[in-house]
Chain A
């Protein structure tokens, strides 16, 4: 029984944390006033860039370095791709929902195509994926011996630590620094920010790029944990799930973390249940819908009390009264 509970916690966390870091990215973007449905695409492009770097470096290097470099590249890849969303939404005042959806379609098509071409041209073999293998894990001595909670410190992926550190830093920046104060103000009343002599569009652009960077970390994490490779399978809708999490969290970081944990545990708990009942593994697909069913149920309860940022989705125009 403890064994099962441990498994549920370990797998739940390794799924919840990437969702969480992506949700923080979404919070940055939406709190600044830019609707962001493009998280899905951002994490995909991030994973693609990171996986390419990892595979490329693995040709000449061994050890842990390619692993960490891949995350750095995923951050850069996600951020650069997010610039496109920022450009469309801010400079060209495109409809932010449409731009977000286009980003997702573009990301999937582009990375699938490029993966095949790069495999052929750089690595000299045919294939539509970059093979990574799953990440090594570690267990913290002593702490992992605590009953129940010890599972949190057992079989931890290194990226989980990276995510927690980044999450703390990003919370600090958003809620404690002048930049964060201005960013959150942009999502409520950009006119007040402009009147205070701060460039609204610059703050928003930075926020969108940050959402791309954080999504990159998430995408890379999924690639190293769930699929053990980079392929079109990375686009499974986790980006949308993190949007659901940030909405349930009322656009604030800590409650969004709670929502991500819930999604993670629902998923791992379902898997454990299927195994326990001895059902065929095809039922695992049924379990994967659990987080989404949960989303629908939660929507009923949270829709009324949650309030989106007031200026969300509106391009900023100086003159408008």
Chain B
């Protein structure tokens, strides 16, 4: 065919960072008007590859052709000129500007005020409204960004690209921050963009989404291109196997549980939110040693408050939290750690880790004061080092500078591994997991699920709170369903069907359990 067949062609792209080869001789060809997915685990080099297409970094080796012409893309500005646009994982929006101001930034429509130029805000609003109409992306041009939810901000980012007349649209993990309903809406938008003739590149590790929208899919593993597959004729398990490099089982193998005596007992626990509303309303249940209790529910039904109250991040307003017969409701966080509570929080960036600390120091956060690591209030750097290296090895935490790596620079999956390593190594009788696999790829997910089961088998009581129903079903021995701050139903996992759980989650059924 002619050279116009491929709108983007990357040949033999190699990019090295200190200590790591992020891309190793990767070649891909993308057709005009297709949805092309780039699939790989965290740290496989997907984002690096696309950063080079968008001009944020330049390849060490290899060539990039746009519309059949060789181009050197040395800046996002050059990429924009070539009508390439990118929506980053972390949005680049000015929080105190309106939607329209954000979209026109850098390419402002102007009008004259006497002899002086000025930004034509009214014109900008009209243009943005027209664009949003044309592509079915609902936004109000005069809304201020900080008042908008994540899905709307994402639409603003898409409009930014369209305003610059981008033809090639790159999305970096676009659905990581969206709710299931928002994901469905987003996938519709992507189809719409393709139907209007745009070429869409999706960086993702979610197989389901690829299956739903993508035409073709390139699979990367540790910086190398493994395969390019035609999505319609491949199964998700084929793609998963290629991505991880080995067979992935979607269910975690586990032996029958051996329940011991109750470790955690909640008695009529009540937690109020900032507005004084009972987010957790008189909740009572038990978790036994050797048991995984999964709490299922739709987001915002009191899960966060429940987990934070047990960990001590939030005050209890009524009822008791009893750990091995001792009331811990009024203990400080450290006292709870010492009493035996490990907590993997949902928000690893703000709660789980200090991002600007080294990996080693993050691993030490819950133990630095103990006699092994501190002598007369002076920290023992050597003991820190030994312990950090030990955990890194044992939990397979990958980073480019070992335990001295600044945590911020690590991939999401490895950051989560660090949190889990720190918490599980406390070997506490109770472990609370809050959304432990959020935003992680299939390989990392199954790894964490195995660790959850291993904790159970060690004899710990495990409380698993997750919005991901598959995760709950996969790991739990007992399932509790939370709805509007109440435990709506609690029963052995085997006795519940998915449909039933769904009905309890929506509050259609329930009320019979205490």
Q: Which residues of A contact B (CB under 8 A)?
A: 172, 176-178, 180-182, 184-185, 188-189, 191-198, 310, 318, 320-321
Contacts and interface: CB of A to CB of B under 8 A. Distances in A.
Interface residues of B, number: 29
- Shortest Cβ-Cβ A-B pairs, 6 listed: A196-B106, A197-B77, A192-B92, A178-B108, A176-B118, A191-B92
Contacts, number: 68
A47 B104 CA distance: 40
Contact of B76 (A181, A195, A310, A321): A195
B11 interface: no
A193 B94 CA distance: 8
B92 A189 contact: yes
A197 B97 contact: no
Contacts of A172: 113, 116, 118
Interface in B52-110: 56, 75-77, 80, 86, 88, 90, 92-97, 101-102, 104-108, 110
A197 B76 CA distance: 6
A177 B119 contact: yes
B78 to A, nearest CB: 9
B256 interface: no
A186 to B, nearest CB: 9
Contacts of A192: 92-94, 102, 105
Given A177-B119, A181-B101, A181-B105, A189 B93 contact: yes
Interface string B34-58: 0000000000000000000000100
Contacts of A310: 95-96
Nearest to A195: B92
Contacts of B96: 188, 310
Given A177-B118, A177-B119, A193-B94, 4 more contacts: A188-B95, A189-B92, A192-B93, A320-B408
Given A172-B116, A177-B117, A194 B76 contact: yes
A185 B97 contact: yes
Nearest to A192: B92
Nearest to A307: B96
Contacts of B104: 181
A107 B27 CA distance: 57
Contacts of A189: 92-95
B408 A321 contact: yes
Residue with the highest number of chain B CB atoms closer than 10 Å, among A176, A177, A184, A192: A192
A198 B107 CA distance: 10
A181 B95 CA distance: 13
27 contacts: A178-B108, A178-B119, A180-B119, A181-B108, A181-B119, A182-B105, A184-B94, A184-B97, A185-B97, A185-B105, A188-B95, A188-B97, A191-B90, A191-B92, A192-B102, A192-B105, A193-B94, A194-B92, A195-B76, A196-B105, A196-B106, A196-B107, A197-B75, A197-B80, A318-B56, A320-B408, A321-B408
A208 B101 CA distance: 23
B123 to A, nearest CB: 13
Interface in B336-352: none
**Residue in A172, A176, A318 with the greatest tally of chain B CB atoms within 10 Å:** A176
B466 to A, nearest CB: 25
Nearest to A191: B92
Contacts of B93: 189, 192
A253 B207 CA distance: 52
Contacts of A185: 94, 97, 105
A188 B76 CA distance: 20
Contacts of B118: 172, 176-177
B119 A176 contact: yes
Contacts of A181: 101, 104-105, 108, 119
Nearest to A188: B94
A172 B119 CA distance: 11
A196 B75 CA distance: 11
Contacts of B95: 188-189, 310
A310 B90 CA distance: 16
A177 B408 CA distance: 36
Nearest to A310: B95
B106 A197 contact: yes
B115 to A, nearest CB: 12
Contact of A193 (B75, B80, B90, B106): B106
Contacts of B76: 194-195, 197
A194 B55 CA distance: 12
A195 B106 CA distance: 9
Interface in B102-151: 102, 104-108, 110, 113, 116-119
Nearest to A197: B77
B157 to A, nearest CB: 9
A162 B113 CA distance: 22
B228 to A, nearest CB: 29
Contacts of A196: 105-107, 160
A181 B104 CA distance: 10
Contacts of A198: 105-106
A196 to B, nearest CB: 3
Contacts of A194: 76, 92
Contacts of B408: 320-321
Nearest to A177: B118
A192 B145 CA distance: 13
Interface in B379-427: 408
Interface string B158-186: 00100000000000000000000000000
A194 B80 CA distance: 12
A320 B456 CA distance: 38
A194 B90 CA distance: 14
Nearest to B109: A178
A180 B106 CA distance: 11
Contacts of B92: 189, 191-192, 194-195
A198 B86 CA distance: 16
A245 B116 CA distance: 29
A321 B101 contact: no
Nearest to B93: A192
Contacts of A197: 75-77, 80, 106
Contacts of A191: 90, 92
Of the candidates A194, A197, A321, the one having the most CB atoms from chain B within 10 angstroms of its own CB is: A197
A310 B95 CA distance: 9
Contact of A321 (B90, B97, B160): B90
Contacts of A176: 113, 118-119
A92 B408 CA distance: 22
A280 to B, nearest CB: 51
A198 to B, nearest CB: 5
Contacts of B102: 192
A49 to B, nearest CB: 29
Contacts of B110: 178
A189 B88 CA distance: 14
A193 B117 contact: no
A320 B356 CA distance: 11
A182 B97 CA distance: 11
A318 B80 CA distance: 17
Contacts of A318: 56
